[in-house]
Every structure is written in structure tokens, then in C-alpha cells.
Amino acid sequence: MAGSRSWIGGVFHRLSNKRSDKFIEYPLTPIQVQRLQKLQKRIRIPFDETRPDHQEALRELWHIAFPNVALKGLVSEQWKEMGWQGPNPSTDFRACGFISLENLLFYGRTYPASFRRLLLKQDGTRATWEYPFAVAGINVSFMLIQMLDLFSEKPSNLPGLNFLKLLGEDEQAFDVLYCIAFEMVDAQWLAMHASYMEFNKVLQATGSQLERDLCLDSVRRIQDLPAYNLLYQ
């Protein structure tokens, strides 16, 4: 399903990514610092359609999504079936870089049943004009990076700092959080009886809920997030 280029990267600027001086002096453990820096390196890698490893990652994503359908090429109208905006997915990755492809791959490898439920829109009563799965996934990556203030040397908001605690416990916390957030987007989509043009509102509502969840005292591991069980429906 094709859509406006403004769909990507322009829908998440109004949540609580507000800087607060009271969090700046919050001390990080060495493992938190190490894992944050590693994650920040990942989010700065652009997608490069000329790199063989990036090409292979795209091919793997196709195979995970449609294991019984041969891919005709890295530029093909087939990609629209996964929810890219055109025949060349590399143009969509410009908004968020290689990590957004890594996130989709992690989702498909780690939670294949959940991945396919969202890809194939198997839950609930769906809209006539559904959100495009792949492009929505890129927006989820972008949302999390902004919400957690990951481009800063150190997050200066409470959700971001609480996330670092989870990252200190689990090096894959960002990737798992991505999968949880994508499930939350789909659940919110269904709850709001949303259609294509309302995706921005769905994403913002999901981000607000996720911020609240990250601030719960009971959340000490990524598995403690209330929406974690959505991955195993």
C-alpha cells in the first residue's frame, strides 16, 4: 500500500521527549553506558542499498514475511505487499536507517507468530484502508528513538532513563521494546477503529501509553511491561 512520504519520520514530535535538568545528574552504571553507546552506534548507521549485508538483510526479511513466495528482486512491486510505499524499500529506510530493518528482522525471528498476525492483519475487525505494515514498523523505530531521547549523550527524560535500567538488565531491551510497541500500535488501532489517515493519532496514543508504562515502579525488566504478553497471544 503506497502512501505519502510524510508518513515516515514526521509523526512523533509531541510526546514527553522534554528535557529535564533534574535527570541530568542521574548516574549510569558502566554496563548501562556501554550498552547505550552500542545502541547509539546502531541508530546512526544509514541503510545502504549498495552494501551486500544490507541487501541480504532485506532478502531475509522477505523470506520471513513470505517464506513460500520467491522474491523477484530488491526493487520489485512485490514489496508493496509487505507495506512499503513503493517498489524500492531502500527509499523508506532513509527516515530511520538500518536499525529499522534490524528491528523488523528481530521481530520476525524472535516472535514469528506475532509478526505474522500484524503483517497479515489477522486480529480483530480491520479497516477498509489498513496501515502499511513495513512503513508502520519504521515509524515505531523512529518513535522509540525520539521518545527515549537516544540521540542525546544521555537521556534526560524519565522514560529514557528508566529504559536504560531495562537495557542494563537485557542487552536486547530496545529490540524487544520495539516488538511490544508494534503490538501496542495494532491494539490501539483496533481499539480506536482507526483508518489509514488516523495512523498518526494511533502512534501518538501508543507512545503516550508506553511512556506511562515505562514509568511504573513495577517495571524492572522488559518482561514486566504490561503489554509484553501481547507478543504471545
Indicate the residue type of 135: V
The pLDDT of residue 207 is: 96
Query: What does the pLDDT read at residue 24?
Result: 55
Position 14 pLDDT exceeds 70: no
Residue type, 151: F
Angle at 64 between CA 204 and CA 119, to 5 degrees: 35
Using an 8 Å Cβ cutoff, are 142 and 100 in contact?
A: yes
Contact 204, 15 (CB under 8 A): yes
pLDDT in tens, 53-88: 999 999 999 999 999 999 999 999 999 999 999 999
Average pLDDT over residues 38-49: 96
What backbone torsions phi and psi does residue 114 show, to the nearest 5 degrees? -65, -45
Average pLDDT for the chain:
90
Q: How far apart are the C-alpha atoms of 232 and 47, rounded to whole Å?
A: 30
| R_g of the chain, CA atoms, integer Å | 17
Q: Taking 70 as the threshold, does the pLDDT of residue 7 lie above it?
A: no
- Statement: residue 6 has pLDDT above 60: no
Q: What is the pTM of this model?
A: 0.91
* Least confident span in 2-6, 10-14, 81-85: 2-6
Structural contact between residues 112 and 66, judged by C-beta atoms closer than 8 angstroms: no
Q: Considering only CA atoms, which of 209, 112, 221, 227 is closest in space to residue 171?
A: 221
Closest CA to 45 of 94, 9, 110: 94
Q: Is the pLDDT of residue 25 over 50?
A: yes
Q: What is the pLDDT of residue 31?
A: 97
| pLDDT for position 126 | 84
Contact 43, 145 (CB under 8 A): yes
Alpha carbons 89 and 194: distance in angstroms, whole number:
25
DSSP for 84-123?
-SSS-THHHHTTT-HHHHHHHHHHHHH-HHHHHHHHTT-S
Q: Compute the distance between CA of residue 55 and CA of residue 59 in angstroms, rounded to an integer.
A: 6
